Structure 1
Amino acid sequence: MSVDQEAAVEVTAPAPVHALEVRGLVKHYPGVKALDGVDLVVRQNEVLGLAGENGAGKSTLLKALVGLVRPDAGEIWVRGEKVRLKSVVDAANHGIGMVFQEQSLVPNLTAAENIVLGSEGRGVRRGIYRWDTMRKLAQEQLDKIGSDINPLARTETLSFADRQMVEIAKVLRIEQRSQHPPVIILDEPTSVLESKEIETLFTQVRRLREFASVVFVSHRLDEVLDVCDRVSVLRGGQSVGEVPTAGAVPATLHQMMIGSAGSDDHYHGNVAEPSDQPREMLSIRKLSAKTFRDVDLEVRAGEIVGIVGVHGSGREDVCRALFGAEPTSGGEVYLDGKKLDLSGTRAACAAGIGYVPAERKIEGMVGPMSVADNMTLAKQESRCVGPLVSPPKQAGVVDRWIERLSIRTPHRGTAIQRLSGGNQQKVVLARWLVADDIRLLLLDHPTRGLDIGARSEVYRLMRELANSGVATVLLADSLEEAIGMSDRIVVMSDGRVTSEVPCVAGAKPTPLDLVKEMV
């Protein structure tokens, strides 16, 4: 063969067929361009990370890939074929499945029903469930991720973390649905998982790489670099580049995300000294409920106390009980020297207690209501003059916090459900910041779903509130966050307080120190 013939062969050699490709995707919403010509390539048998600030366009892009959003322009190609994805079922038939950040399970169905929903196959005969077969089909998927969840348990009885594992098991059923290697999208899959569960998930992701392609989305950049082969970055609805993870560091991705250098450790360098105020703001004595017992805890004014523990330790339920959202069976709670009424959330709000729940879509916001109404929902006086709502007063308060928290919204009147998850979380947090009578703030994973810059802002606000005398109980998103932000850390295990660890500046514990106390 001549040199010219060899060159001709090279020129005509077929290009590799990608598992998924996005070309020039555009999507407009009223007042905002969510996607502005996004390009994305997912190769066969790789894990692609997708990074970007809140509002960068990640959620809109993912929804377009699973048929929930119709792009205004651009193309989507699956295994070399141009497709129009009209629904989630249509995407699944093309081998694309997604684990949503905001869970999509039906709460009154069993875990097994949710896992096989829409792909029951031999689990249904003549319209009637074959429960033993359904259980076995679900168990096959749960076994893949090492979960011991009972397939016949009602989903609403499971913890948030267990429901997340059910979501992952559900999307793996796509292997049986498509005749092609699947594309699995994981949107913030680790946001509520403990360290052991995260490692189990990463093991599963690496297994998926052997026969599938994975798109992995997380604000925890260290996780992205750990489990992904490449990372594609979005900023302002546009693709700004990609980097291989080998040798990359979080600061590299952060610089691409916001256009300047940064770190994933914002809270460590800016932590103030613990407050010197001696006044005890919160005093819990022998508090007991269904999932915890004999809990004693004190929090001083201006102090941030972190509570850590493995799944099932009872720490979340303690916070809910303090806000009147969980019934108690014994014990007493005093706030600023006065016995606290634990009968309901109304009494808690009246006493000056704020609560940011872990499940913002279920408990933290009213989706169809506007950003302004959600932000002022708990404190009506922040928007009223006398008994009537004052639009100018509400607008002034809301606009101030939209600017201060860099909430990306077309307008204060935009429905909160139209915002990205991270911006929704900032509105939920701002609900308590607009009030000037908060004495105790209960934060259950307040930075979940927030990017680096937004987390840094939340940390700063927490310290400002502490310096103003607000007592804070923090259930952190990670042990590192708990260590970085807390003045003291209380460890819970099996519903009891087992130890207390000081977090003195310059002598803070390590995550390993806490793990030893937790297990």
Structure 2
Amino acid sequence: MSAEGVVAQRSPSVVLEVRGLVKAYPGVTALDGVDLEVRQNEVLGLAGENGAGKSTLLKTLVGLVRPDAGEIYVRGQRVRLRNVVDAANHGIGMVFQEQSLVPNLTAAENIVLGCEGPAIRRGVYRWATMRALAQEQLDKIGSTIDPLARTDSLTFAERQMVEIAKVLRIEQRTHNSPVIILDEPTSVLEPSEIETLFEQVRRLREFASVIFVSHRLDEVLDVCDRVYVLRGGQSVGEVRPADAVAGDLHRMMIGSESHEDHYHGSAVTRDETPRERLTVRGLAGAAFRDVDLDVHAGEIVAVVGVHGSGREELCKALFGAVATTAGEVTLDGERLDLTGPRAACAAGVGYVPAERKVEGMVGPMSVADNMTLAKQRVGCAGPVIVPKRQNDIVDKWISRLSIRTPGRRTAIQRLSGGNQQKVILARWLVGGDVRLLLLDHPTRGLDVGARSEVYRLMRELAGTGVATLLLADSLEEAIGMADRVVVMSDGRIVAEVPCPPDRKPSPLDLVKEMV
């Protein structure tokens, strides 16, 4: 008898179970005997540092990764999940952290993709039916997105809502209650959108089971019934939110006493009259206008605003990635060439984009090649790459930033999200000539330990005189890390709020300016 179809004697309340799951890659064991149990009508939290094995575990549950050993049971029946369709047929669907939509299709096409049903007749789309099916799912999450809007015209947060609507279509694929996996679903959502999502999660609990993954431990404790903690590819414990606080989870995640996740360490010592490093006057583009901004050497300035405020476009414009129509920008008194990223790199400007897998890295390329991509000269003698020189530089930054990788020649796409982000940050440090660092949500998707390391690095760079423009992941992060906060609304700067260490503003102070 084949392995598939073997029935385990388990409680009817258990809808999904993994036993002794193992998955190894060259130089690293991602899963080392993981056990996990998902019960009917519950929200199960999954917590762990970057590299703990969460992503690999989730990918095995949706058929993207085949384990080397171990067993998976769905409603007591042992199964082999060969691909995403196979997992969906067993009622398992996932909202991916890095998104899996087809950008040149409409939201409606993405939502029904692979589960078109009555939306297709004789191989031809029935557009009215497809739109109605998509609208049904969007209505469930309170979204106002036009189902016929092209996906690449939507913001990141709007695309995330389309992802959630898409996975809800799994209800039409199975007669059993589904298992919905939400991998970092709140990473780019506004507070009001997060509450809408949580309402949807609570609704899902009524007819489905949910696996909820977030690095924001307070969210995990708020919305989940139980929480599993992974460390080093192993299950290290189960926590009931009613009996725990975020610090308890963090201690289990790192295997030691709680590491304080503070934003700001010791204040950076500066001259009484710090020199202006970045000066922006009258800058305008398609999504912003009349921008005047100064950032001093060694200063961290956070830019906050709701979606559509223009802050992301401003950040890209300063890197030459978005065209400007008016204004002038100077760096240390010299006019900054905004004609393209190449000129910005040459001038000592670094940029860490929000969507690292799309804009920040080349997945199949190695850690070493990604790290030196913008500063290839550091590993060269003339026009020729000198492997030993490149290796020495890469090894230095792997060690300094504690990048967890099997080796410098490992493809960056095999690293966890937090370690990928460290490689991208290191890209701007290997040359030693960065003067202005543009950080667009640099801690998105990072666990508390990795976030603290990024904060520490930002402070170290500020101490060496690097000017930083930060698009924070939350208002709390902006307030905690910044020396000043600039508020944008409708493409313009509408307020500037000082953030001295002893007199930090509250999030409400900023919200009043944002709306």
- What range describes the TM-score normalised by the shorter chain of this pair? over 0.9
Q: Quick one: which amino acid aligns to residue 233 of structure 2? A: G
1:423 aligns with 2:419: yes
1:47 offset after TM fit, Å? 0.7
Distance 1:145 1:498 in 2: 32
Distance 1:380 1:293 in 2: 35
Distance 1:172 1:343 in 2: 43
Name the residue aligned to 1:56.
Answer: 52
1:277 offset after TM fit, Å? 5.0
Name the residue aligned to 1:433.
Answer: 429
Over 3 Å counting, the alpha-carbon distance change for 1:514 and 1:81 in structure 2 is: same
Name the residue aligned to 2:406.
Answer: 410
SS in 2 for 1:450: coil
**Within 5 A, what are the aligned runs for 1:261-340?**
261-263=257-259, 265-272=261-268, 276-340=272-336
Over 3 Å counting, the alpha-carbon distance change for 1:81 and 1:276 in structure 2 is: farther
1:164 aligns with 2:149: no
Q: Quick one: which amino acid aligns to residue 296 of structure 1? A: D
Distance 1:230 1:277 in 2: 53
Name the residue aligned to 2:381.
Answer: 385
Name the residue aligned to 2:195.
Answer: 199
Contact 2:45 2:228 in 1 (8 A): yes
SS in 1 for 2:14: coil
Q: Quick one: which amino acid aligns to residue 397 of structure 2? A: W
Distance 1:409 1:43 in 2: 34
Contact 1:189 1:218 in 2 (8 A): yes
Segments of structure 2 that go 5 or more residues without pairing to the other structure are 1-8
SS in 1 for 2:370: helix
1:173 aligns with 2:169: yes
2:218 maps to which of 206, 209, 222: 222
1:26 aligns with 2:22: yes
Distance 1:484 1:301 in 2: 19
1:15 offset after TM fit, Å? 3.0
1:14 offset after TM fit, Å? 7.2
After superposition, the CA RMSD in angstroms is 1.3
**Within 5 A, what are the aligned runs for 1:61-72?**
61-72=57-68
Name the residue aligned to 2:133.
Answer: 137
1:487 offset after TM fit, Å? 0.1
1:265 offset after TM fit, Å? 3.1
Contact 2:10 2:76 in 1 (8 A): no
Distance 1:277 1:79 in 2: 67
1:229 offset after TM fit, Å? 1.1
1:16 offset after TM fit, Å? 3.8
1:115 aligns with 2:121: no
Contact 2:264 2:455 in 1 (8 A): no
Name the residue aligned to 2:253.
Answer: 257
> TM-score, normalised to structure 2's length?
0.96
1:340 offset after TM fit, Å? 1.1
Distance 1:168 1:30 in 2: 34
1:272 offset after TM fit, Å? 3.8
Name the residue aligned to 1:106.
Answer: 102
1:515 maps to which of 507, 511, 515: 511
SS in 2 for 1:173: helix
Q: Deviations over 1:371-400 (max 9, x none)?
A: 000000000122112221111111111111
Distance 1:16 1:261 in 2: 38
Over 3 Å counting, the alpha-carbon distance change for 1:168 and 1:264 in structure 2 is: farther
2:344 maps to which of 338, 344, 348: 348
Name the residue aligned to 1:371.
Answer: 367
Name the residue aligned to 2:468.
Answer: 472
Q: Deviations over 1:324-371 (max 9, x none)?
A: 101111111111111111110001101110000001111100011000
Segments of structure 1 that go 5 or more residues without pairing to the other structure are 1-12
Contact 1:17 1:80 in 2 (8 A): no
Distance 1:262 1:307 in 2: 30
Contact 2:485 2:497 in 1 (8 A): yes
SS in 1 for 2:32: strand
Contact 1:356 1:443 in 2 (8 A): yes
Name the residue aligned to 2:485.
Answer: 489
Contact 1:371 1:416 in 2 (8 A): yes
Distance 1:323 1:411 in 2: 31
Contact 1:58 1:234 in 2 (8 A): yes
1:187 maps to which of 183, 186, 209: 183
Count matched residues.
507
Name the residue aligned to 2:120.
Answer: 124
Q: Quick one: which amino acid aligns to residue 376 of structure 1? A: T
1:270 offset after TM fit, Å? 4.6
